[in-house]
Amino acid sequence: MSSTLTLDWILAILPEISLVVLLAAVLVYDRGLKPANRRNVGLLSAWGAFAILLLTLGLWVFLGVPNIQQALSVDSLLWGGMIRNDLITLVFRVMFLAALMITSLITIDVKRLQRGEFFALLITATIGFSLMAASADLIMLYIALETASISSYVLAGFMTEDDKSAEAGMKYFVYGAMATGVMLYGMSLLHGLFSSIGIPSTNFYQMGSVLSNAGAIPPEANGVILLAAALIIFGFGFKISAVPFHFWTPDVYNGSPTSFTAFVSTASKAAGFAVFLRVFTAGTFGAPGQESLWWALLISMCVITMTLGNFAAIYQNDIKRLLAYSSIAQAGYALIGLVAFTPDGSAATMFYLLMYVFTNMAAFGVIILIHNVSGSNDLRDLYGLNRRSPYLALVMLFALLSLGGIPPTAGFIGKFFVFKAAVDAGYWWLALLGILNAFVALYYYLSIVKYMYLYRSDDEDVPIPISRAAQIGLGISVFFIIFLGIYAGPAYDWTREAANAFFTLVVG
Amino acid sequence: MLALAAMILGLVLSIYVYVAYNQNLPDAQARWADTLMFVEEYKWIPAVNIGYIVGVDGLSATLVLLTSIVGLGGVLISWSVEDRPREFFAFFMLLVAGVHGVFVAVDGFLLFFFYELAVLPMYVMIVIWGWKERREYAAMKLTLYLLIGSFISFIAFLYLYFNLPAAGVAQTFDLRVWSEANFPFAMQQVWFMPLFLGFAILAGLFPFHNWSPDGHVAAPTAVSMIHAGVLMKLGAYASMRVGIQILPEGTVYWMPFIILLTLINVLYGSFIAMRQRDMKYLIGYSSVSHMGLVSMGFATMTLVGFTGAGIQMVSHGVMTALFFSVVGMIYDRAHTRSMDDLSGMRKALPWLVVPFIIGGLVSMGMPGLSGFIAEFPIFMGVWQGSSLPATPSFLNLIPANYYQIVAILAILGVIITAAYILRAVNTVFFGDYDSEKWHDMRPILPIDKFTLVMFCTILIAIGVVPSIIGPIIQSGMTPVIHRIQEATQTMTVLDSVQIVATNLLSWLGGA
């Protein structure tokens, strides 16, 4: 942790800096646009996201930032221990930028959302997510999380003329503010505890190394640590919409503009997992593993989340609500990898999230396009989709198969890695529960396939126009769904490398 | 047309593989890994040692050929599909590709991958092109049954994967390594059942056969053919390749119990078939009964029985494909499959009579046809099985006590088969012909005739010249039998040691 500003420091947050530049560009560009050219603002945002994605990957490939060697040591802690630029940051950044790019692509031609503010807020939220994944300090984490959250609240209520959207925004805000407040209380407890033993640190890794020394904390304080962990789980659980912090999910997903739903269900969830991974694996509440009490909290949360999510999804007749519950269940699967607390488990979770970004984007992209024509989100709008637009039906088919975990899609491999990690760590019963859940889920995913291919609808002659931008967005998603399904090796190696480096510092 | 070209190409290649394998049959003492031919090996996900490894042994070469034949028949039969033919053939190709994949996979993960790949198109095809009344129910039932089964196996497989080092080999998904592993007996005892049963569900083992007749009935003709003809063999094949070959001691422990299940399969399947009025249900239940014979062949734990099971897979595959194509043709023309409504079809559709009767004779195990070649060794194997040494087994069943009874009962099952098949022939093809009712019968297309003749030829050829199929299948089964024999020996030795020990103790106590 050097204290002079070096090139490393700048390079470490160059993607975020570029996002800020893009944000300014979008806002300025939007002012000068004629009404006829409104879609250009989305185009700018999509190209910008793509450029920054390339930049991020270029930094890694050509300049070695983040550096794998450096990531192993405390040198990866930059900006006075606020930020940690390692491979995990990179993996999550790629997820967020990809999500931003695809969201922009599928939003370009949604008339009501062709406003500079919408894209600007998406970019702000992305900055927040990105910093959440990079944060190494409770203060940094909190600020990043708020940046992301506040943009999200506005985005959820973006369609002011629509009551449901306003309701969604309000609900999201009230629930989110409460969750953040509770989380902050947990953080302050933790900080207080550490101050009382003379180490007023808020850096996870420092806190972790203090706790790893037996006797550093008096045993009476264990209760406080557990309480702090529980309160912080509240805040993070809200982000990944884990049961029992999921009540906002169906309403917000349903009411918000669908483009934002797509974004929040992928990027925001992934960011939630990033902080889970960072904070809990860093040993901020003591070494992770079966002996710590909060571990039981996490594992029960994981089981309940996937079970409740799946069973609730069966009864939905609104496609967005259905996908909301499905995304709750998916969070449960991803948690399986996390609670194993092994490098392989975390790698599996990251791979799962990576494929989940593309999968959910594809599913929501299709819904946006249907919504543009039909104006509602009823499951009945999907009837006969195959006759109206074979292309959309095919995209949806792949997305659903991937969500359900059937080869040759990425979902199968993702689930396989997660379950494998669980069995490897000795929780074969957890893997079994996950698999049983996957069957329940298959029921409603396959029902949608049935609606699309089998049922007929009255507006079979009404074609669904697909703009080129949306085609590209969906095409990218489907490409990665299949690519990660058939050739998962490199991506998994990448996440494994990230997780291994992380665990080497933390545990070793 | 493209589909036809692809299938013909596939068939030609499979014939090449089959013939090439047949000419270089491996040595009887060879390990399984050495009996493989046409092996291709690439790294797929190196991080967890998953490879893309394919290759064939005697059994899989035969089954690959079977798949190609039935697939070709399926394409020919579906020539007149009107509803979205492009999608139909695309999914059909996917299905056939998945099935081929399972048969050639030498990597455990790859095997599961292809297995799932084969189940998915089944769902779509039944739901879209299936029989309107039952298709949604049947498709969902089939998919859930099969996927649950495969994932139960998968859990067991993963568990064993992590315990491979305990069995003295490296951690990998390569089945060649697995087939040399020796897991501790306690582990085999527990995990054999999930591993075997998960796949046996697909083979229609009692009491998990329920999905199968519904699936057969609801599926379109070509899919029924693939389903009964090949897909159920997939279950039997995988349960042997992954279950029996990897856990021989578990096999020896459980098989005396499983043979009872298969006996129920054979008898119960026939009895239910007896009271069906719908021809597709009739054939569906007869498939359950015949697949019971395949599992019974495995349960004999003798080379004869295994070879019989292998031949039965092929024979039954071609036979049901024939049955379903005949029923499909009748249904296309008469729009009913109920045996109450049909009669005198020999007048309207003379071309269907002989194939159906040949199929019927095969399923009864008439000598001179492939059914005899298949069923006779199975019964012989069961009888031979009664001389198996007593080993620790589930419920302490001792094969010597009841295998002969099983064989007798199973042979009696053939009589029931004869009864329902002959009754079906009698009502449907003979009897009064109502020319008023059936005046708009279309004649059979040449393309259909070709399919029927192709199937019949194969059935007769196997029956008359069994040597075209016997040795190659036997060569595929030998390594598995070696594994089982080794296991039996170690277990018997253990057993006798225990007996000596207890005798010693009682003697000491007595003294």
Across the range A145-151, mean pLDDT stands at 92
Q: What is the pTM of this model?
A: 0.81
Assigned domain for B447 exists: yes
Residue B189 lies in a domain: yes
What local confidence, expressed as pLDDT, does residue A507 receive?
A: 46
Position A176 scores a pLDDT of 92
Using CA atoms of B160, B161, B167, B173 in order, give the dihedral in degrees to the nearest 10.
130
CA A367/CA A374 separation, integer angstroms: 10
Record: contact A423-B43, CB cut-off 8 A: no
The whole-angstrom separation of Cα A239 and Cα A232 is: 11
Give the CA angle between residues A353, B41, B157 to the nearest 5°.
Answer: 55
Mutate to test the interface with B, among A355, A413, A423 (most CBs of B within 10 A): A423
pLDDT at B265: 84
Each residue's pLDDT tens digit, A1-38: 455 677 777 888 888 999 999 999 998 888 888 877 88
Token pair of B369 as six digits: 């046809």
What pLDDT, on a 0 to 100 scale, did the predictor assign at position A220? Answer: 78
Q: What is the pLDDT of residue A73?
A: 62
Q: Is residue B228 part of a domain?
A: yes
What's the confidence (pLDDT) of residue A178?
92
Residue B331 covered by a domain: yes
Interface test with B, best of A454, A484, A487 (most B CBs within 10 A): A454
- DSSP-assigned letter for residue B481: H
Q: At what angle do helices B279-299 and B211-218 cross, to 10 degrees?
A: 140
Cα separation of A153 and A165, whole Å?
Answer: 11
Query: What is the distance in angstroms between the Cα of B43 and the nearest Cα belonging to chain A?
Result: 9
Scanning the structure block, which residue is given the tokens 């499959």? B337
- Nearest-Cα distance to chain A for B17, in Å, is 26
- Between the two ends of chain B, the Cα-to-Cα distance in Å is 85
B113 close to A (CB below 8 A): yes
Read off the tokens for B136. 């949604």
User: In the structure encoding, which two tokens stand for residue B66, read together?
Assistant: 């079977």
What pLDDT shows up at residue B211? 80
Nearest CA in chain A to B146: A439
In a domain, A426, yes or no: yes
Asked whether residue A1 is domain-assigned, the answer is no
User: Distance of alpha carbon B21 from its chain centroid, rounded?
Assistant: 21
**Residue A99 placed within a domain:** yes
Instruction: Count CB neighbours of B145 within 10 A.
Output: 21
> Contact B155/A423, CB-based, under 8 Å?
yes
Token representation of residue A144: 């990043």
Count of domains observed in chain B:
1
Residue B147 touches partner A, C-beta closer than 8 Å: yes
Chain A residues near residue B44 by CB distance under 8 angstroms = 487, 489
Name B294's Cβ contacts closer than 8 Å, sequence gap at least 6.
Answer: B203, B233, B236, B309, B312, B313, B316
pLDDT recorded at residue A82: 83
Is A2 among the domain residues? no
Number of alpha carbons in the 13 Å side-chain half-sphere of residue B225? 32
Residue A508: the pLDDT is 41
User: Cβ A435–B151 below 8 Å, yes or no?
Assistant: yes
Write out pLDDT tens, residues A319-363.
889 999 999 999 999 999 888 888 888 999 999 999 999 999 999
Residue B8 belongs to a domain: no
What is the model's pLDDT at position B391? 72
Query: Is the Cβ of B442 closer than 8 Å to some Cβ of chain A?
Result: no
Query: pLDDT (tens digit, 9 = 90+) per residue, B218-227?
Result: 878 878 888 8
Q: How far is A253 from B47, CA to CA, in rounded Å?
A: 37
Helix (H, G, I), strand (E, B) or coil at B245: coil
ipTM of the complex: 0.70
Residue type, A87: L
Residue numbers of the domain that contains B482:
146-510
At A180, is the pLDDT very low, low, confident or very high (cuts 50, 70, 90)? very high
Q: Does B341 touch chain A (CB under 8 A)?
A: no
Residue A157 lies in a domain: yes
The reply to whether residue B47 touches residue A496, judged by beta carbons under 8 angstroms, is yes
Tell me the nearest-neighbour CA distance from B47 into chain A, angstroms.
Answer: 6
Distance of CA B134 to the CA centre of its chain: 24
Pairing of strands A77-78, A83-84: antiparallel
Q: Measuring CA to CA, which residue among A356, A266, A345, A384 is closest to residue A507?
A: A345
pLDDT digits over A397-448, tens only? 899 989 988 878 898 889 989 988 888 888 888 888 888 888 888 888 888 8
Q: How many CB atoms lie within 10 A of CB A3?
A: 8
CA gap B334, A170 in Å, rounded: 63
Distance CA A118, CA A129 (A): 17
CB of B469 closer than 8 Å to CB of B62: yes
Cβ within 8 Å, pair A406-B116: yes
Of the candidates B258, B256, B295, B192, which has an alpha carbon nearest to the alpha carbon of residue B397?
B256
- Residue B190 inside a domain? The answer is yes
- DSSP letters along B14-53, please? HHHHHHHHHHTPPPTT--HHHH-EEEEEEEEEGGGTEEEE
The answer to whether B52 faces chain A, any CB pair under 8 Å, is no
CA–chain centroid gap for B301, Å, is 17
Residue B120 has its nearest CB partner, among A406, A443, A450, at A406
Q: Range of A389's domain?
A: 7-507
Shortest distance, CA B197 to any CA of chain A (angstroms)? 16
Write the DSSP string, B322-372.
HHHHHHHHHHHHHS--BTTT---HHHH-HHHHHHHHHHHHHHHT-TTSHHH
Domain assignment present for A56 = yes
Q: Give, for A77, the enclosing helix (H) or strand (E).
A: strand A77-78
- DSSP labels, A239-288: HTT-TTS-THHHHHHHHS-HHHHHHIIIIIHHHHHHHHHHHHHTTBTB--
Residue B117: its chain A contacts at CB < 8 A? 406-408
Per-residue pLDDT tens for A185-209? 999 988 888 888 877 778 888 787 7
Find chain A residues with C-beta within 8 A of B113's C-beta. 407-408, 412
For A13, A323, B36, B466, the CA distances from B470, given in Å and listed in that order, are 69, 53, 18, 6
What pLDDT was estimated at residue B507?
A: 62
Q: Which of A63, A49, A137 is nearest to A93 (CA)?
A: A49
Q: What is the mean pLDDT of chain A?
A: 86
Buried b (16+ CB within 10 A) or exposed e, A345-365: bbbbbbbbbbbbbbbbbbbbb
B381 part of a folded domain = yes
Angle, nearest 10°, between helix axes A428-453 and B108-129? 30
Domain total for chain A?
A: 1
State how far residue A89 is from chain B, nearest Cα, in angstroms: 21
CA distance A195 to chain B (A): 43
pLDDT per position as a tens digit, A286-308: 777 667 778 888 888 999 999 99
Task: Report the pLDDT value the prediction gives residue A305, as an integer from 0 to 100.
Answer: 92
Output the pLDDT for position A506.
55
Does residue B253 form part of some domain?
A: yes
Query: How many helices, marked H, and strands, marked E, lie in chain B?
Result: 20, 2
| Residues B216/B231, Cβ–Cβ less than 8 Å | no
Residue A440 contacts residue A332 (beta carbons within 8 Å): no
Q: Distance between CA A58 and CA A74 in Å, rounded? A: 23
Token pair of A321, please?
């609500």
Instruction: Report phi then psi at B291, rounded to 5.
Output: -70, -25
The verdict on B43 touching A (C-beta cutoff 8 Å) is yes
What pLDDT score was predicted for residue B97?
A: 86
**Strand-pair partners of B421:** none
Is the Cβ–Cβ distance between B178 and B246 less than 8 Å? yes
How confident is the model at residue B387, as a pLDDT? 76
Inform me whether the C-beta atom of residue B136 falls under 8 Å from chain A C-beta atoms: yes
pLDDT for B501: 62
Q: Do B140 and A443 touch (CB under 8 A)?
A: yes
Q: Which residues of chain B have pLDDT under 70?
A: 1, 3, 28-29, 167-169, 390, 438-440, 493-511
Residue of A nearest to B129 (CA): A454
Q: How many CB pairs under 8 A join A and B?
A: 74
Query: CA-CA distance, B111 to B104, in Å (whole number)?
Result: 8
